[in-house]
Every structure is written in C-alpha cells, then in structure tokens.
Structure 1
Amino acid sequence: MTTWMLFDYGEVICLPQPAGAMAAMAAMAGCDGDAFHDRYWSHRDAFDRGLASHLYWSGVLDRDLEPGDPIVTRLEDADIASWSHLNPASMDMLGDLAGSHRLALLSNAPEPIAAAIDAAPWASAFDHRFYSCRLSLAKPDPAIFESVLERLGADPADVTFLDDRAVNVDAAAGLGINAVLYRPPGHAEH
C-alpha cells in the first residue's frame, strides 16, 4: 500500500515556464535568444547538481561572472519567477491527498529555486523536500531515488512517484517504486 506520495516540482507542482520567459532573460542579459536557450539547458544539469549560481550564469552568458554580480541576481530572480507558477490541478491533488498520505517532493532544482520552494507557504504540505542540488544527484540517476527511499525510511512499494518525464518515471519504476507519468488535465498527447 502506498504510504508516501512523492512529487516532482517542475511541470507537476508548477506549470511550465511561461512563453517568453526565456527570451526575456536573454534580453535582460543582452544575449541572442537561441544561444541563451541552448546554454541555459546545456549547463542546467550541473546547476541542478549544486553548481554555484554565478558559475552557472557564467556558462549561460559565456563570460566570467563573480558572486553577487547584479546580472546574476537579476537572472536568478527571473529564473525563480519563471518556475513559480503553481499548477492548480496539482495543488488540488495535494489538498486531496494530504489527509490520507504522507507527501514528499523530489526535484531536480538548483539552490536558488530550492530555497524559493522551501520559503513558499504551500511547501509546508510536504513532510520532506529533496533537491538535486543538496543531494549532488539528479533524476534519472537511480541513486537519487535510493537516497530518498533511505531518508524516508520507506520500501519502494510504499512510494508512489509522479513526474512529467518518462525517463525519470522509468528509473523510479526500475527500483520497484510505483511510478506514474504525470499529465495535467487537458494534456494532449502528440
């Protein structure tokens, strides 16, 4: 029987980044939008695993930045804001499950986003919040799920995991976790 409901954050608890958010960050930094987009994602795994913010944005902007550089702060704030639009359907689901299950969060997230989530009032619904930046592991690496299971004191069969990425669902299922590919209401398969 499922005791723990383990949720992903990006595109499960929160909605996808709004259209135009990436272009706005690129314009803020004075960068070409396509190059910014490519570097934003190509450096993201290291950021999610704990790379310092100024080093991540140095890679994205393709120039050396120091901690506390104003552009780092502005981009960090814009990035956090772009991932802070909550999914109403997921928030309803959390409310429905709160009385019957223990709730936990597992997100590939850099420290600035992890800190913003921890500070959000709705985050108190989760008994535990796990972030790739603090574990130095990221989904779909099975080691991150093993670490979470150990910290929860749970057997794989005691956990149901919801994530929007099939590769993450497959990795969790490979360990015996009841893993579900999350699709919001009204999602159309392509």
Structure 2
Amino acid sequence: MTTWMLLDYGEVISVAQPSDATATMAELMGHDEATFRNRYWHHRDAYDRGQASHLYWGAVLGRTLADDDPLVAKLDAADVESWLHLNPETLRGIEDLAGRHRLALLSNAPEPLAAAIDDAPWAAAFEHRFYSCRLGLSKPDPAIFEEVLRHLGAVPGDVTFLDDRAVNVDAAAALGINALLYPEWPASPRTD
C-alpha cells in the first residue's frame, strides 16, 4: 500500500532551466553556452553530494576560486534562480496528493538550492525533504533510497517514487519501490 509519495524536484516540481538562465551563467564565466552546459553537468555530481560552491564553480571555470570570491555568490544566485521555475501541473498534483498520502521530496541538489527549496511556501506540504548534498549520496545510488526508507520508517512497498530520469526510476524499482517516470502523474497511485 502506498503510504508515502516521494517526488523529485528538478524537472518534476520545477521545469527545465530556461536557456536564458544558463546563458547568464555562461556569460558570467566567460564561456560559450555549449561549453558551459557541458562543464556544468560534467562536474555536477560532486556538487550535488555536498562539494563546496567555490570548488564546483572553480572546476566548471577551470581555475581555482576562493570561497569568498564574488563570482561564486553570483553563480550560486543565478544557478538557484534557474531552478525556481515551478511546474503548475505538478503543484496542483501535490495539493491533491497531500490529502491522500504523506509527502517527501528527494532531490539531487547542492546546498544553495536545497536551502531555497526549504524556504519555498509550497515545500511545507512535504513532511520530509531529502537532498543529496545533505546525505552525501546522490541518485541513482541505491544507498540514497535505502537512507530515505530508513528515515521514513518505511518498507519499499510503502513508497511511490516519481522522477524524470529513467536511471533513477530503475534504481528505486530495483529495491521494490513503486517507481514512476515523470510525466506519468500518479493521479491514482497503486494502493494495494
């Protein structure tokens, strides 16, 4: 029986980063947008697992940045802003699900984004919010799902997980979690 609905954030609750947002970050770094996107994602896993911002942005830039470099704060702010564009359909779905299930969030997110999500009014619907940066683990590592199950006090069959990446859905499903690939919205998730 599904007790918990566990939702991803990026490209499920939020929409994809707008191209003008990534263009702004690329401009701040002096990269063309294609080079920036490549380096942004190439180095992202360590950042999502808790790496300090200045180390991440330094890797993307290709040079060392001090933790108090003003460029770091500008890039953090631009990056967070790029992920704050919400999907109205998902927000309506969250309202519906909150009346029938307990809600939790699981996101691969660095600390600046995690803090912004925690401060968002809609986030109050989630009893638990789990972030890769705070767990030191990231999806699709099965250990992150095991850690979430432990914190929820749930067995895999108690949880329905919704994510936009097939690799994450497959990892959760391999543990016995009812996992759905977004945009398959669980209007009536399995409850047996």
Q: Say yes or no: does 1:79 pair with 2:106.
A: no
The within-5 A match list for 1:52-67 is 52-67=52-67
Q: Which residue of 2 aligns with 1:70?
A: 70
Map 1:29-178 to 2 at 5 A. 29-178=29-178
Post-superposition offset of 1:19: 1.9
Q: What per-residue deviation string (whole Å, max 9, x for no partner) do you get for residues 85-144 of structure 1?
A: 010010000000111100000000001100110111111110000000011100000000
SS at match of 2:151: helix
Does the residue aligned with 2:25 lie in a helix, a strand or coil? helix
Backbone CA RMSD of aligned residues: 1.1
Secondary structure, counterpart of 1:104 in structure 2: strand
**CA–CA separation in structure 2 for the residues paired with 1:21 and 1:59:** 19
Letter in 1 for 2:33: G
* Superimposed CA distance per residue, residues 147-186 of structure 1 (whole angstroms, 9 cap, x where no aligned partner): 000000001000000000000000000000000001178x
- Please give the TM-score of this superposition, normalised by the length of structure 2: 0.94
TM-score under structure 1 length normalisation: 0.95
Query: Where does structure 1 lack aligned partners over 5 or more consecutive residues?
Result: 186-190
In 2, are the aligned partners of 1:57 and 1:65 still within 8 Å (CA)?
Answer: yes
Instruction: Name which of structure 1's ranges 26-35 and 43-52 shifts more when overlaid on structure 2.
Output: 26-35
Letter in 1 for 2:54: H
CA distance in 1, matches of 2:28, 2:81: 14
Once residues 33 and 168 of structure 1 are traced to their aligned partners in structure 2, the CA distance between those partners, rounded to angstroms, is 27
Consecutive unaligned residues in structure 2, runs of 5 or more: 186-192
Counterpart of 1:174, as a letter, is A
The number of residue pairs the alignment matches comes to: 185
Runs of 4+ aligned structure 1 residues displaced above 4 Å come to none
CA distance in 2, matches of 1:111, 1:118: 10
Tell me the equivalent position of 1:188. Answer: none
Which residue in the other structure is 1:25 paired with? 25
Aligned amino acid, residue 49 of structure 2: R
Larger displacement relative to structure 2 (24-33 or 138-147): 24-33
Identical pairs, percent: 68
* In structure 1, distance between residues paired with 2:149 and 2:133: 17
Question: Is contact 1:89-1:184 (8 Å) kept?
Answer: no
CA contact (8 A) 1:8 1:107 kept: yes
SS at match of 1:86: coil
